[in-house]
Structures are given as C-alpha cells and as structure tokens.
Amino acid sequence: IFGGNPAAVCVCERWLDDALLQKIASEHNLSETAFCVPQPKNATYQLRWFTPAGEIDLCGHATLATGFIVMNFIDSAAQQVAFETKSGILQVRKMGDKYEIDLPSFALNPLALTKERIEQIYAAIGFAPIEAY
C-alpha cells in the first residue's frame, strides 16, 4: 500500500463538477488523483484522472490504485474490475496479492527530422537522432 508511485483515489456516488475535481486533485498535490463513479447497470466504474494542472487521458498507476481500492474495500469478492475511461475500457485483475492491468497501445508516427529539430535534440541530449517518433 505505501510503496511505489503514489496516487490519490476518490470513489464518488456521482460526478462532481470538474472545477471541484480539479481543486481536490490540486489539494492532494500528487502526480495523479483518480476519481471513479460506479455504473451499476453494467457493473463497471467510470474513471477519470487529474493532475494538479488538469485532467489527463490515461494513468496506469492510478488505475491500479483504484482497482486495489475497489477490490479490497468496496467489492472484496471481485477478482477484476472494469473502468470506462477516455482511453477505452481498462481491466484491473487481482492475481493473489498482486494486481495487473492491460493498457492500450498507440501507433507511433515518425517525426520529420529537420535540421533545426536535430540541432535541438543534440543540444538537449548530446547526440543526433537517427529516427524520432
């Protein structure tokens, strides 16, 4: 519980106003705060993540933390939980005393390496890229 990458988890009965969600995340001041709302009709949860600066589309460790909370404090008989997110349905599974998640993959698109971009990358990391995505 008290190791790894910290995340706050807030389980709500209904969605709060976005401005209030943002204030709560800013008050927690962690890299991410997860907010979830149960969806009893389809036995899932809606899940959103906020940083102190704003809402984000995906956060793996806060999703795992939310799965832990749901399966240990809300539905202790559950061995998996589904979350509806901006990035699609995310499943967290309980595997003994560990938890696993399958995250979506995204296609990588090549980035054009202009002379200016190569110089910027070289200045930042000390070598010129062959390819960039």
Positions annotated as catalytic residues are: 32
Q: How far apart are CA 57 and CA 110, in angstroms?
A: 22
- CA-wise closest residue to 6 among 44, 39, 51, 40: 51
| Helical (H) or strand (E) element with 133 | none
Distance between CA atoms of 87 and 73, rounded to whole angstroms?
A: 25
